[in-house]
Structure 1
Amino acid sequence: MLASSLSLLLAAAAAAADLSAWRWRQDFPVTGGAQTVVALDGPVYDGAKEDLSDLRVFGPGGEEIPYALEADVSRIEDARVPARILNLVRLPDGATRFELDLGEHPAPHSYLFLDISPENRNYRAAVTLEAAHPDGGWAVLKDGINILDFSQDFHLRYSELYYPESDFRRLRVTLREKDGAPMKVDGAWVRRHAHRPGMELMTTFTTAKSSSATSEIRDLDFGYDKTPVHRVAFSVSTPEFKRRVVVSVPGPDGTWRSVGESVIYRYASGRFSGSNLVASFPEVRARRLRVEVFHYDDRPLAVKSITAFGYVRRLCLKDPKPDAYVLRYGNPAAAAPRYDLAALSAYLDKSAAAESKLGERREDSAYRAPSRPWNEEHPWALRAALAAALLGLAAIVLRQWRSIAL
């Protein structure tokens, strides 16, 4: 009995010692259900390790709760499907038509890229995509889409289209140029190309504005270190423009280093109308972001606002009991936990998962700051030891000098 009680006390003491290494905590409620998801926020990114490996969830009884960390980022699934061009002809009305043979039992496909000859410039061509029906005849897969080339002040070419995922063997493409000019097709590629958009969170920030002779600069401060961000969107009142945008973050030495470049524009001409008001770049984890818009010899853009977006990271709990839970983090020595739920999470239906929200960050009462090395805790002792050694050395030298003098 005594040994058993002692073991329990030692286990409790070990658990308390473990908790003392985690500096921060944020409470969150769980209302029940098959799954609960909790989105991470700025304080977590700021106080946790860069890779988030020190996150730990504890239940109402102090027990460690398994979780799956999900990074809901954008991704592209892409695979080429072999295709052969057949029966390339020009129709009586001037349209260009050809067929694509994808072979027996083709893989699913949903994307068509057309390699239009560089000889064709400044065009807008309507595309009709059809599939050979097994029972005969042609069924429309996509209609009313345009491919285009704009080659004046700047060059823009768009010659691809998406269509519903299919496994038809034969496709037929018809191109009708607006002005009736013949379209020269050098090739075509069919792919399974699926873009899975990630879940984004709009990130708040404060702005400091400055300028140079050729650009306007906006320094965004998100308030927390290691905040994820991967794109900025502009609201601009200038009617027509084309501007280079450079996005930078502070380097280790404090200087700004570029993480991406983009072009934002808006045109409304007879040949081309379109706009792009988003600058995307590989995701960075930073507190500060610099957005520089170059106007060179033009007037600066009339930017009404800028919005920043980052991908969401969430914790997923399976079958949690309704109660108050705690997220702890801020332990630089912690290794990533290994839970079965990390592998199982991909197969769970989270469409009806309950969502919870983290409370305010506060320092955990169990936290104990790691002690510094003895010499850092007692710097005076090292100085005293050095002084004593110097005095001893001086005494020896003086004694030797006197013996020589005698």
Structure 2
Amino acid sequence: MNLKNKIAVFLFAGISFSAYAQIKTFDYQRELKNVTEDWHKISLTPELFSQLKGNLNGIRIFGVTKDGDTIEAPYILKVLKGKRVDKTIDFKRLNTSFNANGHYFSFKVPTEDAINQIALDFSNENFDWKLDLEGSQDQKEWFTVADDYRILSIKNQRTDYTFSTLHFPVSNYTYYRLLVKTKDKPVLNSASLVLDEITDASRSSCDIKATDFSQNKDTKQSIINLELTHAVPISQLTFKVNETFDYYRPMKIEYLKDSTETEKGWRYFYQTLGQTTLSSVEDISFGFRSTITNKIRITVENGSNVPLTFNDFKVTGYDHELVARFTTPASYFLAYGNEKAYAPRYDITSFTNKIPTQLNALTLGDEILIKKDATSTSPLFENKLWMWALMILIIAVMGWFTFKMLGKNSRQSSV
């Protein structure tokens, strides 16, 4: 074996040993079944998320070849948020008129763009109006887009609230006619026609294990605690209010970020996901940044009002998947559960255009606890001194082989 091959074998052995040592830093593994192609996708399950403890970096894909070598397969973590279209559509404002039914405003869209929102800005304050919206291609035959849609403005010393944006299914008409059903004269400063939608997003419902309601009479707050079965990514919350009267209440949504056990029991630390307004005129659906948790706290400020009652809570989150490349025949498995792991850096992140659009999904095997070496209290490469020692050893071996070859060439030259 020549010098080059000896060095290559030694380096490969070091890399293989490093990969093997990395496995021991993870807590769990699952077999990856049916690896038959170069590219596959792997869906992350709620049970798996619970073991990640909030660290999505703590995932690796390892394989063991027939020769017993340990290798690592590169992957890309994808959050299936889909594509969001947020586009303001050009239009021309046409007629303004009124009759016994109310006041009409007409708009023309000169393009073939669709819309699903119209944002209205009125000079009027403290109004409570109902609107009808119709669409037409020729201004002869009109079709109902929205009926009895309520918009509201409240302005006083304590409150400054306006809800004047119409939300409706995606519509594509050349002409739109808006009827404001009021005897007052609406002064429309401006309008915006918008297409705002998300396509190809993939969400899953999160199983709610327990729901707890309480009232804080001192602070005049309603507090709802939701406990999920697993710690999973969440990004949307919906629920229903039982009362049929009008309401307008400030609301805060928080998630459990951390907890600490003390002599007096557990202390829980919550972080805000969003602050908004719970209103009888708006849909009760709240979106926020994707966050991994198993506890949600909702706080509603009642003021001097009677507390509201709630039901039908639903929590959803974006699905997550790994897109992985397998180039070497091996028995592959997913390793996870390393709170200290850093995000891996793989070349495939720079060549995403080479990834096939259609991928076969791999099946995950049962969860297996990774056994730790009984003689060691920490992974070999957790201490950087071991890494430096290995590097120095490799350099020394390379230098020794180089010196030996130079000496051999020198003796041959002298002969």
Common fold by TM > 0.5: yes
User: Residues 142 and 20 (structure 1 numbering): CA distance in 2 closer, same or farther, change over 3 Å?
Assistant: farther
1:149 aligns with one of 139, 148, 151: 151
1:200 aligns with 2:203: yes
Taking the aligned partners of 2:17 and 2:383, their CA distance within structure 1 comes to: 23
TM-fit CA distance, 1:7: 5.0
Instruction: Give the AA of the match of 1:56.
Output: R
Taking the aligned partners of 1:223 and 1:114, their CA distance within structure 2 comes to: 39
User: Residues 355 and 118 (structure 1 numbering): CA distance in 2 closer, same or farther, change over 3 Å?
Assistant: farther
Instruction: Give the AA of the match of 1:290.
Output: R
Aligned to 1:269: none
Aligned to 1:230: 235
- Checking the alignment, whether the CA contact within 8 Å between 1:23 and 1:364 is kept in structure 2 is no
Aligned to 2:62: 58
Matching of residues 244-393 of structure 1 within 5 Å: 244-249=250-255, 255-264=269-278, 276-304=283-311, 306-317=313-324, 325-329=332-336, 330=338, 332=340, 334-340=342-348, 343-344=351-352, 348-350=356-358, 353-354=360-361, 356-357=363-364, 359-360=366-367, 362-363=369-370, 365=372, 369-370=378-379
Instruction: Give the AA of the match of 1:77.
Output: V
1:127 aligns with 2:133: yes
Determine helix, strand or coil for the equivalent of 1:37: strand
Taking the aligned partners of 1:341 and 1:193, their CA distance within structure 2 comes to: 29
- Checking the alignment, whether the CA contact within 8 Å between 1:203 and 1:309 is kept in structure 2 is yes
Aligned to 1:70: 78
1:96 aligns with one of 78, 100, 104: 104
2:216 aligns with one of 206, 212, 217: 212
Aligned to 1:38: 43
TM-fit CA distance, 1:328: 1.9
1:186 aligns with 2:189: yes
Structure 2 unaligned spans of 5+: 261-267, 385-415
TM-fit CA distance, 1:164: 4.7
Taking the aligned partners of 1:241 and 1:101, their CA distance within structure 2 comes to: 35
Instruction: Give the AA of the match of 2:205.
Output: M
Aligned residues: 354
Instruction: Give the AA of the match of 1:11.
Output: F
TM-fit CA distance, 1:74: 6.2
Instruction: Give the AA of the match of 1:289.
Output: I
Instruction: Give the AA of the match of 1:57.
Output: I
Taking the aligned partners of 2:212 and 2:329, their CA distance within structure 1 comes to: 44
1:17 aligns with 2:18: yes
State the TM-score, normalizing by the size of structure 1. 0.66
Aligned to 2:411: none
Instruction: Give the AA of the match of 2:297.
Output: R
Determine helix, strand or coil for the equivalent of 1:359: coil
Instruction: Give the AA of the match of 2:151.
Output: D
1:117 aligns with 2:122: yes
State the TM-score, normalizing by the size of structure 2. 0.65
Determine helix, strand or coil for the equivalent of 1:11: helix
TM-fit CA distance, 1:71: 0.7
Instruction: Give the AA of the match of 1:311.
Output: Y
- Checking the alignment, whether the CA contact within 8 Å between 1:59 and 1:324 is kept in structure 2 is yes
- Checking the alignment, whether the CA contact within 8 Å between 1:69 and 1:315 is kept in structure 2 is yes
Structure 1 unaligned spans of 5+: 267-273, 375-406
Determine helix, strand or coil for the equivalent of 1:187: strand
- Checking the alignment, whether the CA contact within 8 Å between 2:54 and 2:293 is kept in structure 1 is no
Taking the aligned partners of 1:16 and 1:292, their CA distance within structure 2 comes to: 52
Determine helix, strand or coil for the equivalent of 1:20: helix
Taking the aligned partners of 2:142 and 2:355, their CA distance within structure 1 comes to: 35
- Checking the alignment, whether the CA contact within 8 Å between 1:57 and 1:327 is kept in structure 2 is yes
2:92 aligns with one of 84, 91, 94: 84
- Worse-matched range after superposition: 15-24 or 320-329: 320-329
Instruction: Give the AA of the match of 1:160.
Output: L
